Amino acid sequence: MKSIAVLPQGSVSHEALLYLFGGEPVKVVHHKLISDVFLSTANGTTDYSVIPIENTIEGSVSLHIDWLINEVNLPMQTEWIFPSIQNLISNPLEFTDSEGNKDFTAMVKILSHPVAMAQCGQYIREHAPWAELESAGSTSEAVEIVKSNPGKGWAAIGTALGAATHGLEIVDRQITDHNNNYTRFVLVGPQKLELARVSSGDKTSILVTLPEDFPGALHQVLAAFAWRRLNLSRIESRPTKKKLGTYYFYIDVVEPIESILLPGAIEEIKALGCQVRILGSYPTYTYEEEKAEVQ
Ligand X SMILES: O=C(O)C(=O)C[C@]1(C(=O)O)C=C[C@@H](O)C=C1
The contact set with ligand X (CB under 6 A) reads: 7, 11-13, 52, 55, 61, 84, 113, 115-116, 138-140, 183
Nearer to ligand X, 66 or 202 (CB): 66
Q: Which of these, 71, 63, 24, lies nearest to 43 by C-alpha position?
A: 71
Q: Which residue lies nearer to ligand X by CB, 8 or 265?
A: 8
Residue closer to ligand X by CB (options 106, 145) is 145
Nearer to ligand X, 113 or 127 (CB): 113
Rounded distance between C-alpha atoms, residue 89 and residue 105, angstroms: 15
User: In the complex with ligand X, which residue's Cβ is closer, 162 or 283?
Assistant: 162
CB atoms within 10 A of CB 60: 16
Q: Which residue in 48, 43, 30 sits closest to 189, CA to CA?
A: 48
Q: With respect to ligand X, which residue has the nearer C-beta, 138 or 281?
A: 138
Q: From the CB of 184, what's the least distance to ligand X, in Å? A: 9
Cα 62 to Cα 53, 149, 269, distances in angstroms: 8, 31, 25
CB of 187 to ligand X, least distance (A): 14
Q: Where are the beta strands (DSSP E) in 47-162?
A: 48-55, 59-60, 76-83, 87-90, 109-112, 132-135, 154-158
Q: Which of 231, 183, 201, 180 is nearest to 78 (CA)?
A: 201
Strand partners, 133: 110
Rg (CA), the chain: 21
Rounded to a whole number of angstroms, the minimum distance from the CB of residue 116 to ligand X is: 4
Least distance from ligand X to the Cβ atom of residue 5, Å: 12
Q: Name which of 83 and 280 has its Cβ closer to ligand X.
A: 83
Least separation in angstroms between residue 246's CB and ligand X is 26
Strands 109-112 and 48-55: unpaired
Spatial distance between the Cα atoms of 177 and 118, rounded to a whole number of angstroms: 9
In the chain the first and final C-alpha atoms are separated, in Å, by 26
* Cβ closest to ligand X, residue 157 vs residue 210: 157
For residues 46 and 121, give the distance between their C-alpha atoms in angstroms, rounded to a whole number: 35
Kind and range of the H or E run holding 16? helix 12-21
Q: Do the Cβ atoms of 50 and 30 come closer than 8 Å?
A: no
Least separation in angstroms between residue 13's CB and ligand X is 3
Under 8 Å between Cβ of 112 and 157: yes
Instruction: Give the nearest distance from C-beta 72 to ligand X in angstroms.
Output: 16
Least Cβ distance, residue 135 to ligand X (angstroms): 10
The dihedral built from the CA positions of residue 232, 233, 236 and 242, taken in this order, carries a sign that is: negative
